[in-house]
Amino acid sequence: MKCIVGLGNPGREYETTRHNIGFLVLDELAARNGLSFRRSWRVPARIAKGTIGDEPVWLVKPQTYMNRSGAAVGPILRKGKGAVEDLLVVFDDTALEWGRLRVRAQGSAGGHNGVQSVLNTLGDGAFGRIRVGIGLKPDKVSLSDYVLGPFSAAERETLDDVIGRAADAAEMACGEGVARAMNIFN
């Protein structure tokens, strides 16, 4: 079983913010593959179970808020009997220009608190990740205001394309492996 986790924050006020791009990518994956999210009663997450291609998959949107994402990811992997290597995390990255993707097989948190929470919970960084560039924050704007802010008009014009490419990368990583997705999308 593969587990694809999109990082974000629950609640309407966060739905269309840069920090929720992981949730938006998972919504696209669910729509493409006819999957529906349901609230889990055992772990703080919304989960869609099904297949992508021939691969059994769980799409997971933690409902713990970004900085506590690991509190949902650890129990999900244990419940689904998944290995750390079967995990793929999709999240926003201010170190990448808008719309740029970086697929990696493992690594550090790179300053992202949600990924750090997952690393702290799992104790292992050997999981795949798709970093979706949201661009550098403007001067005189705090990081939290930037990532929790809505997409700009220019970003909204290409948002569907960015989400679509990230979903393509996730599907390829799931079906053909992270290394193949890295070769195509980086």
Residue 14 to residue 176: CA distance in whole angstroms: 32
Query: Could you tell me which residues come within 8 angstroms of residue 129 by beta carbon, excluding any fewer than 6 positions away?
Result: 88, 89, 90, 91, 103, 104, 106, 107, 115
Number of domains in the chain: 1
Task: Assign 1 a pLDDT band (cuts: 50, 70, 90).
Answer: confident
This prediction has a pTM of 0.95
Per residue in 93-105, pLDDT tens?
Answer: 999 999 999 999 9
Q: Which residues are catalytic?
A: 19
Q: Which domain holds residue 46?
A: 2-185
Query: Could you tell me which residues come within 8 angstroms of residue 117 by beta carbon, excluding any fewer than 6 positions away?
Result: 66, 67, 68, 69, 70, 71
Q: What CATH number is given to the structural domain containing 172?
A: 3.40.50.1470
Per residue in 90-136, pLDDT tens?
Answer: 999 999 999 999 999 998 888 899 999 999 999 888 999 999 999 99
The answer to whether 21 and 66 are in contact (CB under 8 A) is no
Average pLDDT of every residue of the chain: 94
The predicted pLDDT at position 9 comes to 96
